[in-house]
């Protein structure tokens, strides 16, 4: 529980301090093994801290007041579907890219292209960087969380055509979390690290919200760094009409593990414990095929629906994909679980390697990556799924396929006021850019 958020919300709604303390200390006692007097003093101290921070509106320094203030979009993360790998999530990430835009003058692949990794030049080589957050529902399974987030970060580096050289970890554990969670999480990362010989070299360990967040929630991420010695990044924008689309067999990662955990299908979880994806990428690198491959990506964010949508938008091409061929490449136990639970295999992360390359390189790619052909790249800007000869638009829903009982309750449908929400978020993005520009101008003036 976020005690600071609880206090701020109640003060804003005009709830008296006595009532906040009276209700708040009971919540503290539900989680922490402390006495009533300590719990009341704790909530009282939080109230005083919150009231003090809100006094920034009274300061005379208008520039500082502007920096401390925050834009309000009146659109929550949940309503917008941020993190749920659908239309709302994609929109917000493009807004984030608008803010980052002016920092990208020296990049080869930047955030505007919506790839999962960025690329910069360094001494005539390319340095590739990616970061992935741990799946939020794996907090109570820290080894699995570390294993899958390390795999995810490495995937993003390898699919850009780079050979990974290092990993970095960042882990935040809430105040009441057992320290063993951090150790288990790190061990999960290192299992991947040792299996493919990429060292974990640095990291950070902190508490979630310091003293403010009670509970045992684990929030973490892993970053991967890689280099491209020869050739160009295999970014999405390089897809060309006439290319062939290939895919490796996928058995899922953090998402499929979460589905298995919360539906009790533990056989499916076991299928995810592998580094097959990373070995396939290494095989292509060793064979010298990356120079011939136009695009590599992982079938993760929003599943094949999301990846096809993003590639079509970025490269202005149409992916024509055979449904039957895709389904053959989903692990049998995983596919059975998804179908039994009525979860769309095309709308969820199955962690396959997707490759787009010229036709004359197909056999070599199949040999070294274990991939199979699933379609072709054609003219157009909308991707299609081909089933029994019929072409069906392959587009993401508002959220990725609902893969836990809670997600099925939340649903996948687009809110009726989605366009209004987008406008509000875009306005907040404009305001954030204006503030960034304001501070940059001050910093540069101070340097002169």
Residues 426 and 287 in one domain: no
Q: Which of 208, 233, 258 is the last residue of a domain?
A: 233
Joined tokens for residue 232? 């160009």
Residues 199 and 257 in one domain: no
pLDDT band at 78 (very low <50, low <70, confident <90, very high): low
pLDDT above 90 covers what percent of the chain? 32
Residues 215 and 364 in one domain: no
Residues 352 and 384 in one domain: yes
pLDDT digits (tens, 9 = 90+) for 354-366: 999 999 999 999 9
pLDDT at 407 over 80: no
Joined tokens for residue 144? 């699995």
Residues 283 and 360 in one domain: yes
Query: 138 lies in which domain range?
Result: 109-233
CATH of the domain at 160: 3.30.1330.10
Residues 199 and 91 in one domain: no
pLDDT at 306 over 50: yes
pLDDT at 117 over 60: no
Among 231-240, 246-255, 261-270, 285-294, the range scoring the smallest mean pLDDT is: 231-240
Closest among 372, 251, 277 to 322, alpha carbons compared: 372
Number of domains in the chain: 4
Q: 75 or 248, which is more confident? A: 248
pLDDT at 1 over 80: no
CA distances from 274 to 195, 271, 346 (A): 9, 7, 21
Instruction: Report the DSSP beta bridge partners of residue 128.
Output: 119, 226
At 111 the pLDDT is 46
Residues 365 and 394 in one domain: yes
Residues 147 and 273 in one domain: no
pLDDT digits (tens, 9 = 90+) for 39-53: 898 888 888 878 877
Residues 258 and 277 in one domain: yes
Q: Which of 233, 262, 295 is the last residue of a domain?
A: 233
Residues 227 and 238 in one domain: no
Among 95-104, 312-321, 334-343, the range scoring the smallest mean pLDDT is: 95-104
Residues 115 and 84 in one domain: no
At 116 the pLDDT is 47
Residues 224 and 265 in one domain: no
pLDDT digits (tens, 9 = 90+) for 215-232: 777 889 999 999 888 777
Residues contacting residue 305 through CB under 8 Å, at least 6 positions apart: 344, 346, 347, 394, 395, 396, 397
User: How far is Cα of residue 334 from the mean position of the Cα atoms in its chain?
Assistant: 21
Closest among 161, 293, 171 to 229, alpha carbons compared: 161
Which among 20-29, 132-141, 175-184, 362-371 has the top mean pLDDT? Answer: 362-371
């Amino acid at each position: 529980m976020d005690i600071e958020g609880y206090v701020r919300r109640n003060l804003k709604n005009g709830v008296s301090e006595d009532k906040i303390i009276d209700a708040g200390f009971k919540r503290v006692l539900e989680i922490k093994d402390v006495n009533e007097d300590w719990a009341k003093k704790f909530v009282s101290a939080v109230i005083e801290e919150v009231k003090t921070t809100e006094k920034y509106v009274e300061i005379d320094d208008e520039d500082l007041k502007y920096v401390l203030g925050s834009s309000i979009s009146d659109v929550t993360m949940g309503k917008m579907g941020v993190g749920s790998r659908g239309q709302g999530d994609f929109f917000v990430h493009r807004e984030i890219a608008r803010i980052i835009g002016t920092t990208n003058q020296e990049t080869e692949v930047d955030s505007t292209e919506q790839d999962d990794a960025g690329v910069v030049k360094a001494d005539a080589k390319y340095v590739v960087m990616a970061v992935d957050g741990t799946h939020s529902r794996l907090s109570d399974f820290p080894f699995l969380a570390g294993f899958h987030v390390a795999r995810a970060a490495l995937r993003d580096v390898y699919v850009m055509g780079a050979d990974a050289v290092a990993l970095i970890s960042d882990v935040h554990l809430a105040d009441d979390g057992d320290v063993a969670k951090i150790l288990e999480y790190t061990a999960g990362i290192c299992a991947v690290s040792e299996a493919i010989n990429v060292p974990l070299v640095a990291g950070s360990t902190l508490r979630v919200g310091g003293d403010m967040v009670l509970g045992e929630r684990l929030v973490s991420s892993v970053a991967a760094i890689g280099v491209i010695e020869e050739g160009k990044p295999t970014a999405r924008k390089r897809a060309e009409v006439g290319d062939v689309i290939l895919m490796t067999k996928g058995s899922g990662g953090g998402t499929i593990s979460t589905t298995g955990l919360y539906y009790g299908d533990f056989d499916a979880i076991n299928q995810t414990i592998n580094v097959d994806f990373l070995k396939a990428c290494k095989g292509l690198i060793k064979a010298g095929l990356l120079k011939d491959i136009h695009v590599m990506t992982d079938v993760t964010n929003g599943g094949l629906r999301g990846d096809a949508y993003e590639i079509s938008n970025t490269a202005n091409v149409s992916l024509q994909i055979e449904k039957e061929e895709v389904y053959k490449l989903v692990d049998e136990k995983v596919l059975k679980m998804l179908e039994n639970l009525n979860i769309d295999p095309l709308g969820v992360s199955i962690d396959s390697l997707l490759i787009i390359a010229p036709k004359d390189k197909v056999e070599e790619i199949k040999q070294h990556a274990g991939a199979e052909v699933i379609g072709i790249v054609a003219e157009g800007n909308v991707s299609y799924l081909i089933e029994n000869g019929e072409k069906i638009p392959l587009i993401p829903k508002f959220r990725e396929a609902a893969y836990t009982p809670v997600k099925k309750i939340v649903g996948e449908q687009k809110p009726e006021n989605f366009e209004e929400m987008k406008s509000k978020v875009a306005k907040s993005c404009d305001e954030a850019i204006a503030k960034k520009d304001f501070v940059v101008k001050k910093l540069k003036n101070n340097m002169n």
